[in-house]
Structure 1
């Protein structure tokens, strides 16, 4: 993330929210990498299918 992007995000979120956002992005990235390693296809979920 560039300094400019961080500064823009900081206009909308406080430090705690920025940390949560960065943590969530990292977690999603980790899950995506695990799916690639295990060759799990993505994009099969259909909204409302679990009801």
Structure 2
């Protein structure tokens, strides 16, 4: 029960932050997230500067 409630609260906080602030990628001109992400046994995710 505790972990599910914590996940729900985290989702609510993130949703509120997304609603309140207009977020854009800092380098959105030449950033291809789909091409920068690779899978090598584990997800290798590039740094995303917000």
Shorter chain as denominator, the TM-score bin is: 0.3 to 0.5
TM-score, structure 2 as length reference = 0.44
- Work out which structure has the larger RCO, using CA pairs closer than 8 Å and 6 or more positions apart in sequence: 2
More helix by share: 1
